[in-house]
Structure 1
Amino acid sequence: MTGSTPQTLKPNRPPSMDVHRLEVTHVDQDAYTVDVRGHRLQVDQPTEAGGTDTAPTPTELFAASLATCVAFYAGRYLHRHGLPRAGLRVRTEFVMATDRPARVASLRLVIVPPPELPEQRRAALLAVASHCTVHNTLRRPPEIDIELEP
Structure 2
Amino acid sequence: MKVETRCGRTIGVTRFEPPGLPASMGRVVVDTSCAPYDEGEMWASLTPEEARRLAGLLLYQAAAVDPEPAGRPGAAEVTPIAGDAFGIRVRGHVLTVDQPLSDGGKDTAPTPVELFVAAVASCAAHYAGRFLDRHGVARDGLSVRAEYRMADDRPARVAGLSLTVQAPSLPPRRLAALRAVVSHCTVTNTLARAPEVELEVRCSPDEAVAGGSRKSQA
User: TM-score scaled by structure 2?
Assistant: 0.59
Gaps of 5+ in 1: 1-17
In the TM superposition, 1:44-123 aligns within 5 A as 44-113=98-167, 115-123=168-176
* Secondary structure of the corresponding residue to residue 147 of structure 1: strand
Between the aligned partners of 1:19 and 1:103, the Cα distance in structure 2 is 27
Q: CA deviation at 1:116?
A: 2.0
- Report sequence identity in percent: 57
Which of the two has greater strand per residue?
2
Between the aligned partners of 2:73 and 2:195, the Cα distance in structure 1 is 14
Between the aligned partners of 1:38 and 1:86, the Cα distance in structure 2 is 30
The number of residue pairs the alignment matches comes to 132
Q: Deviations over 1:7-34 (max 9, x none)?
A: xxxxxxxxxxx96011000111100000
Q: 2:185 aligns with which of 119, 125, 132?
A: 132
1:143 aligns with 2:196: yes
* Secondary structure of the corresponding residue to residue 139 of structure 2: coil
Q: Which has the larger radius of gyration?
A: 2
Q: Deviations over 1:20-71 (max 9, x none)?
A: 0110001111000000111110000001001000000000000000000000
Higher relative contact order (CA 8 A, sep 6+): 1
Please name the residue that 1:40 is paired with: 94
Q: CA RMSD in A?
A: 1.2
Between the aligned partners of 1:138 and 1:87, the Cα distance in structure 2 is 27
Following superposition, which runs of at least 4 residues in structure 1 exceed 2 angstroms of deviation?
none
Q: Does the 8 A contact of 2:87 with 2:94 survive in 1?
A: yes
